[in-house]
Amino acid sequence: MLKRKTAVEKLLEKRTYELVRSEARFFNIIENNADGIVVIDRAGIIRYLNPAAEAILGKLREELIGNPFTYVVHQGGVTEAEIQLANGQARVAELRVTGSAWEGEDAQLISLRDITEKRVLGERVQQLLFYDLLTGLPNHTFFLNHLRLAIAQARHKSQMVAVLYLHLDRLKNINDTYGHNVGDQLLHTVADRLKENLRAQDVLARVGGNEFALLLTDITADAVAQIAEQILDKLRQPWVVIGHHLYISGTIGSAMYPDHGDDAEKLLKNAYTAMHRAEEKGTHSYQFYAPAMYADALYRLETEANLRQALAENQFVLHYQPQVNICTGKVIGVEALLRWNHPEKGLIYPNEFIPIAEETGLIVPIGEWTLYTACRQNKKWQEQGLEPVTMAVNLSARQFQQPTLVADIKRILAETGLDAAWLELEITESIAMQNVEFTIKTLQELTEMGIRFALDDFGTGFCSLGYLKYFPVSKLKIDRSFTRDITSDPDAAAIVTTIAFLAQNLKLKVVAEGVELQDQASFLKQQQCIEMQGYLFGRPVLPDEIKWL
């Protein structure tokens, strides 16, 4: 006969059953937890780990149980640890440690969460925020942050800090000629070469498309000048990129703390301003910042704003000056000359605003307006029954380099109705020589349309005479600087005679600019230069004031 269980025995049996079930549920939760769970005893020996921990640690539990936790975690802190896997890869795990018990003994339960992807993503975000993807150099944001820190340290130690701002020239021409992959590789190579010989504390950053900034701490002005010259010397060397021998140049501006600015933004801005002043001196130039440059920079900014307003409010006007055949006395051409009719300052001549328009890129819409207005005016004269004459229009360097130039001119001719035969475009020698292959291609396309080209200010640039036979130009224009002195300076007279002789032998027309005196006209006629332009024949005037057509 079975003995009947007492109430106590029943209760004990129930509690035991519940405990077993609870432990089973707890063990099941641990085994199936998405986080890795590792139990170590007081000696740091692994007593248990779940499958998720096996996956994170990259080893089976049979390999790990009985070994120290440091067997798999080589570097770590209180909250994170680096785990070296058997295949040589590394993972980063987030750690959470809590006191516990295991099989009746004190133990620690370590929760592991794989944050490798999170860490990689964070590093990627940092890379995007603070580094240039093309060159791997720090970017503008990183540079400014580091400059602020450097200034704070220099202020504390009474030291000097220098910022060098470098602008690379000719990069656009290289991109247009050889493709952006060559240009990008060139930038990468330049960055590598600029990093050579830098001190550990120096910071080189790419702060713009073709602009770099260099931070130098604990430095003297003499040392800064020497480093700037070293950089320019490096840029003068030929660059071999993807099989192409390339030549580039640069200009550098520098500013120093505390003399030229006491905060990072001002110091970088002043170095940038000095760089622009160096550009005015020519390629491979270097310039320290000077306080007077601020006023110049302010003037440039104000002029840029006013030029934008002038475009919007149609403040530009064209004056027209005749080109005359001295033998017949007939007007055979007209040159369109841009003026800015400022509402407060009155008539402003191109030499006061064209350089800033070129620098800012505003010369492109201004040049397009000029071309359209000149073509429309010439067509209007023809519709009024006047004898057709050639309209000469100057193209700026930026305008000529626009990839849409040919299409823009076709559109303007179509919109104004002017026949291409009555349009003559003028470019200077320096524009023609910037990219010879591009120049030849562009000139050929436009001359095939019927447009004629004149090489303006001939003799003042650096055009190789050998290229004249490749440029499809129909006319050379003798610069007024030579014409002015032909009756008093034998050298000027010799140059004009040579240009006229050259043009005759190349079967090119020649026009002398700046003719103001009859003696000058007589000398030019003797040299078979019969087309002239200048005050002797008419000043530039508005269309309504013209009496010579």
Map out the domains of the chain as residue ranges: 33-116, 131-289, 319-338+361-533
Q: What is the pLDDT of residues 208-222, one digit of tens each?
A: 989 999 999 999 999
The mean per-residue pLDDT over the stretch 303-317 comes to 96
CATH number for the 319-338+361-533 domain, one of 3.20.20.70, 3.40.50.2300, 3.40.1010.10, 3.20.20.450? 3.20.20.450
Residue 78: what pLDDT? 47
Q: Give tens-digit pLDDT for 530-544.
A: 999 999 999 999 999
- Whether the predicted model's global pTM rises above the 0.75 cut: no
CA–CA distances in Å: residue 505 to residues 146, 164, 187, 511? 63, 51, 45, 15
Q: How confident is the model at residue 57 (pLDDT cuts 50, 70, 90)?
A: confident
What is residue 120's three-state secondary structure? Answer: helix
Which residue from 214, 211, 195 is spatially nearest to 203, judged by alpha carbons?
A: 214
Closest CA to 257 of 229, 292, 221: 221
Distance of CA 222 to the CA centre of its chain: 29
Please name every residue paired with 341 in a beta bridge, in sequence order, or none if there are none: 347
Instruction: Give the model's pLDDT for residue 33.
Output: 74
Same fold: 131-289 with 319-338+361-533: no
Q: Which of 28-42, 90-104, 506-520 comes out lowest in average pLDDT?
A: 90-104
Query: What is the CATH code of the structural domain delimited by 33-116?
Result: 3.30.450.20
At 378, which amino acid appears?
N
Quick one: what percent of the chain has pLDDT higher than 90? 58
Crossing angle for the helix pair 221-236 and 180-195, nearest 10 degrees? 140
Q: Are 388 and 424 in contact (CB under 8 A)?
A: no
Taking a C-beta distance cutoff of 8 angstroms, is the pair 486, 520 a contact?
Answer: yes
What's the rounded Cα separation, in Å, for the pair 308 and 328? Answer: 43
HSE, side-chain direction, 13 A CA sphere, residue 465: 7
Q: What pLDDT does 86 receive?
A: 47
- 95-99, 263-267, 465-469, 482-486: which has the minimum mean pLDDT? 95-99
Question: CA torsion 190→192→198→203, rounded to 10°?
Answer: 80
Check: CB of residue 518 under 8 Å from CB of residue 536.
Answer: yes
At 98 the pLDDT is 61
What is the C-alpha radius of gyration for the chain, rounded to an integer number of angstroms? Answer: 38
**Which residue type, as a one-letter code, is found at position 243?**
G
Helices (H), 393-544: 397-401, 405-416, 429-434, 436-448, 480-483, 490-505, 518-526
State the DSSP string of 156-198: HHT--EEEEEEEEESHHHHHHHH-HHHHHHHHHHHHHHHHTT-
Pair 107, 40: CB distance under 8 Å: yes
- DSSP SS3 for 329: coil
Predicted confidence (pLDDT) at residue 309 exceeds the cutoff of 70? yes
Residue 205, pLDDT > 70, answer yes
What is the full DSSP assignment across 223-254? HHHHHHHHHHHHHHS-EEETTEEE--EEEEEE
Over residues 136-145, mean pLDDT: 93
Determine which of 112-116, 169-173, 391-395 has the lowest per-residue pLDDT on average: 112-116
Reported as a single tens digit per residue, the pLDDT across 462-518 is 555 667 778 899 999 999 989 999 999 999 999 999 999 988 888 999 999 999 999
Q: Which residue shows structure tokens 């005679």?
A: 497
Q: State both tokens at 315.
A: 């403040």
Tokens 């490096």 belong to: 234
Task: Average the pLDDT over 378-389 and give the result.
Answer: 95
The Cα–Cα gap between 444 and 429 comes to 17
Percent of the chain with pLDDT over 70: 85
pLDDT tens digits along 145-200:
999 999 999 999 999 999 999 999 888 888 888 899 999 999 999 999 999 888 99
Task: Give the CA count within 13 Å in the CB-facing half-sphere of 201.
Answer: 11
Please give the Cα distance from 250 to 165 (Å, whole number): 10
N-term to C-term CA, the chain: 141
SS3 sequence of 458-501: ECCCCCCHHHCCCCCCCEEEECHHHHCCCCCCHHHHHHHHHHHH
Answer with the residue of higher pLDDT: 377 or 79.
Answer: 377
Average pLDDT over residues 240-263: 92
CA distance 514 to 482: 9
Predicted local distance difference test score (pLDDT) of residue 67:
85
Classify domain 131-289 at the CATH topology level: Alpha-Beta Plaits (3.30.70)
Average pLDDT over residues 26-35: 70
Q: Read off the pLDDT band of 84 (50, 70, 90).
A: low
Q: Helices H, strands E: what count in the chain?
A: 19, 22
pLDDT tops 80 at residue 107: no
Poorest-pLDDT segment among 116-125, 309-318, 431-440, 454-463: 116-125
pLDDT, the chain, mean: 87
How far is the C-alpha of 538 from the C-alpha of 549, rounded, in Å? Answer: 11
Q: What is the average per-residue pLDDT within 271-276? A: 93
Pairwise pLDDT comparison (61 vs 252), residue with the higher score: 252
Rounded Cα distance, 318 and 341, in Å = 10
pLDDT, tens digit, for every residue of 405-461? 999 999 999 999 999 999 999 998 888 888 888 899 999 999 999 999 999 878 665
Answer yes or no: is pLDDT of 19 > 60: no
Q: Token digits for 12? A: 């004990």
When pLDDT is averaged across residues 117-122 and rounded to a whole number, the result is 66
- Between 31 and 118, the higher pLDDT residue: 31
pLDDT at 60: 81
